[in-house]
Amino acid sequence: MAQPKKKTSKSKRDKRKATWKRKAAVQAQKALSLGKSVLTGRSSFVYPTPEEDEDEE
């Protein structure tokens, strides 16, 4: 018969949640920084957008 799994401790659960939230906060900060730099025109990199060439028919 299958045995039940051990309960995850509160500290391990909290540590995982804190890591997840920290990664999310870093990504949010990077996105905000990129958005601000694009608005001010100081950005050296912006994700490429597909160019539409109307000359080729």
Q: What is the DSSP string of 5-33?
A: PPPPPHHHHHHHHHHHHHHHHHHHHHHHH
pLDDT digits (tens, 9 = 90+) for 5-56: 889 999 999 999 999 999 999 999 999 998 888 888 777 766 666 776 565 5
- Whole-prediction pTM value? 0.58
Structure tokens at 45: 């990199």
Q: Can you give the pLDDT at residue 46?
A: 63
The number of residues in the chain equals 57
